[in-house]
Chains A and B, each alone.
Chain A
Amino acid sequence: DQQVKQNSPSLSVQEGRISILNCDYTNSMFDYFLWYKKYPAEGPTFLISISSIKDKNEDGRFTVFLNKSAKHLSLHIVPSQPGDSAVYFCAASGGNEKLTFGTGTRLTIIP
């Protein structure tokens, strides 16, 4: 039972445009959400997070939006750069739930 879902396994975006990665969750106990970025042959690195008391968190080119009623979050990258090409994992935690990851979305930025 996948509690955190990333329904798009891959996404291609032109350099300079906006990349939008989506994530849905089913467990209403989740109250903290994170995005990780993973390059090949490296472990995931923390990118940005958001607590359920907020609906938006911004860090430079990266913004995460949380819609609690829809149990949906998204990561916006503006403008997209070639170095953003990687696999992005959404993760959630809360209550007694361990950190639960989605299956990842491979983002490719086209120069």
Chain B
Amino acid sequence: QKEVEQNSGPLSVPEGAIASLNCTYSDRVSQSFFWYRQYSGKSPELIMSIYSNGDKEDGRFTAQLNKASQYVSLLIRDSQPSDSATYLCAVNTDTGGFKTIFGAGTRLFVKA
């Protein structure tokens, strides 16, 4: 089982729709969770971080965390063509030494 799993996509949504990106992780003691956006040929940039169960909203983005189900998601409301990118889920774990584990990413296409 991969430590951080994401659907590779591509996920295609029309402009103005809600895009829903999902991520599951295997280490139950993980405490910090991150969503990064990576445009083609560019480096990752942080969109959201979340540390406690529930929802966290920032503008058009909402991160949701459910530690019991080991599940974290990112919702993008009113999707724009400029949101087209790969979204990486990252989890901080202390098992076997502190490290950040990234998922393989989900490619999102927003159609104008």
Q: Bound pair: A and B?
A: no
